[in-house]
Chains A and B, each alone.
Chain A
Amino acid sequence: MKKLISLLTIASLMFSSFVVVGTNTARAAASDLAITAPANASTSPGLARDVSFSWTIGLQTGQTTIATSSIAQFKVKTNAGALIAGSVSACAASTTAIAGGGVTQAYGVGIATFTFATTTANTSGTACIKVPALAEGIYYITLYTGSPANDSAAVALYVGGFNQVTVTADVDPTFSFTLSSNSCDLGILQTSATSTCTYHATSTANTVQTGGIAVMVRADNAALRAGAETIDAIVGAPGSFAVATEANGVRLSANAGGNIGGGFNGTANQGQALPTSPTAIYTSSGANTTVSFTAMHIAIAGAATKVGHYTQQVTYSATLGF
């Protein structure tokens, strides 16, 4: 049996040695056929389109003359390598041009063939083919340049969004209002000069609201109170503080993104009484995302001001205007 197998092997190799036929193809390592990707390689599905190409047969490495081609044959194929089902046709305005002319055109299912006159030195050319309406997908078009150039190349054809990825993300709306302090101590009031304390208010949103941000304020009472005793709100909008004339009020200064309203924008030594119902004191317009202001509470005692611990509760709120 061993001998039989050996004989079989030898016989097989002997037979094979008789039928060696070289079908080698040696090509230059450098690129010789260059095809330019068409400008309209990306298009919409369901529409026939003219696709224009240009190509050049270059000098192969190791050769001294550029080979010519006898034909330029285009095949439109699917991503799986099959010819498309529809027929390729001539462009409305043919731009096929080969140096020396002599071009005949033939069209078929998935194929367009341009045959050149044998007397023409065809080393480059341009052509336009009408690709039939295709379904969404990725296709490719091959170019084969006939003998003696005998080379091929391909370019991609994108129909619809199969070569695209759409990435999305969402950012939640946020809105905040903060006070730098929840207390403001005026200290021991004097009759000879005003006492002050300050804090900052900031409102931030990440929305592109068109109505801006409005900061509202209200006090539990316009006066500072210590039991039944009061230091009244200043009169005027704004009003000016006077020595030994008891009064209290608030003055604002803008830090970012808004406007002071309602007499709260007085100058030095001026103030505005706080309202007891919600009132806009700081507003912005448009797409401001941050507004900020500084509130200064101001008070002065009079000769008749009673001893006591005076307080006032002030409440702020902020709203977004869309």
Chain B
Amino acid sequence: MPIRILKLFNLALAINLLFIGPVMAMSSQNYQISQDSINFGGSDDGNSANYQLDDTFGELGTGQTDSANFSLESGYRQNDNETPFFSFNVAAADKTTKIAYTNFGSSTVTLASAPNFAVDDYVAVTADEGASQKVAVGRVTAIAGNTLSVDFWSGDFATMPATPAGGNDFVYKLTGHAFDMGFLSQTQVSTAISFYHLTTSARNGYSVGAFANHVFRTNTGAVIANVADGAVNVGSGEYGIRTTGDDVMSSVADMPVQLTSAVIASSSVRSEVRRGAVIYKASSNNDILAGHYTQTVTYIATLNF
């Protein structure tokens, strides 16, 4: 073989090895890539009616090798059955981070003043806080000046105006596990926000259920009744939640928080990253007794492998 051709072949080999990269796992604060491989072919989720094919081409030296004490399974797909991943985060909006915004974009929000947020924070953007409040949640991926960029929005983002109006549109950091609505009014609906973020490799989807420890009540037994007509209205003395986001069961009606787990979002197909927001709403009237009302809502993720 001429030297020139040999050099060429060696160079090709080097380039090829670059593309046949290492098989490894990666993770960050918010994502986990359980396994990856750089090859030239193959895909996940090739589907037919009865079968699902995950294929990979271009790996070297794959397969199982056994010795007396060890078993080596090398190759990208060898690990498929061993590392299901799951993460689930639940948080409430932090009122101390409340800040107005001037523009809401397809993957950005521009704050009215210098942001007190950091990359990888989850944020909730609200529009028209109150009975008809809309919410979008996302993870901050970059901050430039007063503009936050997010990975993507989940929730009501498609119907939220680019330019907020009315002075009741805000951005919150989603952190912690408590939200105090403050003093309820007979002239407006008070709201709180929480969200969940789920990642999973479950092949057949997931569901997120929610249940409350008790009705929205004081420790002396005074109750703000659960919404029964699909809408928490001003002056009605009602309490309920509305869900919005990926795979939610209903994003329109206000509904009661059940005392036994009720599914608020679900999917029967592989759904690796899913988010949802829950808007809690309460209103008061003359029949609502004075006191400190409280309710703890527990969120449970169920995976379907």
Could you say which of B45-53, B123-131, B162-170, B226-234 contacts chain A? B45-53
CB under 8 Å from chain B, chain A span 101-158? 138, 140, 142, 144, 150-156, 158
**Contact status of A26 and B293, CB under 8 A, knowing A79-B89, A154-B202, A156-B86:** no
Partner of B52, one of A28, A42, A162: A28
**Contact status of A29 and B16, CB under 8 A, knowing A11-B9, A206-B290:** no
A152 touches B57 (CB 8 A): no
Is A182 part of the contact surface with B, judged by Cβ < 8 Å?
A: no
Q: What interface size band does chain B fall in?
A: 35 or more
Could you say which of A164-172, A252-260, A270-278 contacts chain B? A164-172
Is A19 part of the contact surface with B, judged by Cβ < 8 Å?
A: yes
Whole-angstrom distance between the Cβ of A107 and the nearest chain B Cβ: 18
Residues of B in contact with A (beta carbons under 8 Å apart): 8-9, 11-13, 15-16, 19-20, 25, 27, 29, 32, 34, 40, 42, 47-63, 75-78, 80-92, 177-184, 190, 192, 194, 200, 202-204, 216, 220-222, 224, 278, 280, 282, 284, 286-305
A31 touches B8 (CB 8 A): no
B305 touches A169 (CB 8 A): no
A289 touches B289 (CB 8 A): yes
A208 touches B56 (CB 8 A): no
Whole-angstrom distance between the Cβ of A133 and the nearest chain B Cβ: 21
Give the complex CA separation of A33 and B203 in angstroms. 11
Give the complex CA separation of A313 and B138 in angstroms. 66
B77 closest partner in A (C-beta): A23
Is A22 part of the contact surface with B, judged by Cβ < 8 Å?
A: yes
Contacts of B182 in A (CB 8 A): 169-170
Is A261 part of the contact surface with B, judged by Cβ < 8 Å?
A: no
A79 closest partner in B (C-beta): B87
Q: B-facing mask of A28-45, CB < 8 A → 1, else 0? A: 111101110100011000
Give the complex CA separation of A170 and B300 in angstroms. 28
A154 closest partner in B (C-beta): B84
A27 closest partner in B (C-beta): B52
Partner of B293, one of A22, A79, A169: A169
Partner of A23, one of B53, B56, B88, B294: B56
- Number of A interface residues in the complex (CB < 8 A): 63
Give the complex CA separation of A27 and B78 in angstroms. 13
Nearest 6 A/B pairs, CB to CB: A11-B12, A153-B305, A169-B181, A173-B290, A165-B194, A23-B77
CB under 8 Å from chain B, chain A span 221-269? none
Whole-angstrom distance between the Cβ of B9 and the nearest chain A Cβ: 6
A165 touches B59 (CB 8 A): no
A15 touches B12 (CB 8 A): yes
- What are 7 A-B pairs at a CB distance below 8 A? A12-B15, A164-B298, A167-B178, A167-B181, A167-B192, A167-B294, A174-B290
Whole-angstrom distance between the Cβ of A164 and the nearest chain B Cβ: 5
Partner of A168, one of B76, B180, B202: B180
Partner of B27, one of A81, A169, A206: A81
Give the complex CA separation of A14 and B122 in angstroms. 47
Give the complex CA separation of A169 and B281 in angstroms. 10
Please give 12 more A-B residue pairs, beta carbons under 8 A apart, in addition to A80-B29, A142-B84, A151-B305.
A7-B8, A8-B8, A21-B58, A23-B76, A24-B56, A30-B50, A152-B305, A155-B302, A164-B298, A165-B296, A166-B296, A289-B289
**Contact status of A171 and B288, CB under 8 A, knowing A31-B305, A81-B27, A158-B300:** yes
